[in-house]
């Protein structure tokens, strides 16, 4: 592995920030999972006043919520994996470990990009349905 001083410092700083963001993401996912049993029934009750019959679709809402949490968990895991493996690869000068860390970052950006494109597509579709 050949990293110059500046490249190594930039990567170490990137690893630190990505680890911080991954840990914050894990805490956020934990809070989201706590939200379901604590606030889920209350949210369904509030929405049932506006949308009668929503109680029948509570299982669907829970399923969609769990899919969102699973995708967020995968993103956070990939970011954390990048930070751990890249740092270990830099410290031990192990190219294989370093490459596995970068592969985690590639997967993180791939999933984020797909989600961004889907979000953009849904926004465009919702705008066209309004007109």
pLDDT for 31 beyond 70:
yes
% of the chain exceeding 90 in pLDDT: 64
Domain locations in the chain as residue ranges: 5-130
pLDDT per residue as tens digits for the range 68-103: 999 999 999 999 999 999 999 999 999 999 999 999
pLDDT at 79: 97
CA neighbor of 98 nearest in space, from 10, 15, 26? 15
- The residue-averaged pLDDT of 18-43 equals 92
- Mean of the per-residue pLDDT values of the chain: 91
**Token pair 């849904």 is at which residue?**
122
Q: What pLDDT does residue 44 have?
A: 81
- Of 117, 118, 126, 115, nearest to 75 by C-alpha is 115
Averaged over 106-116, what is the pLDDT? 97
Q: Structure tokens of 81? A: 């994996």
| 32 within 8 A of 64, measured Cβ to Cβ | no
Rounded to whole angstroms, the Cα distance separating 84 from 103 reads 12
């Amino acid at each position: 592995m050949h990293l110059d001083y500046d490249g190594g410092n930039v990567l170490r700083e990137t690893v630190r920030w990505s680890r911080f963001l991954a840990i914050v993401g894990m805490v956020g996912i934990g809070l989201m999972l706590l939200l379901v049993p604590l606030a889920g029934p209350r949210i369904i009750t509030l929405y049932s006043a506006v949308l009668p019959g929503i109680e029948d679709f509570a299982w669907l809402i829970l399923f969609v919520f769990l899919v969102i949490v699973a995708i967020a968990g995968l993103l956070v895991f990939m970011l954390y994996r990048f930070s751990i493996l890249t740092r270990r690869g830099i410290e031990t000068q192990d190219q294989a470990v370093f490459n596995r860390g970068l592969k985690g970052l590639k997967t993180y950006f791939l999933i984020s990009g797909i989600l961004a494109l889907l979000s953009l597509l849904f926004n465009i579709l919702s705008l066209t349905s309004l007109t």
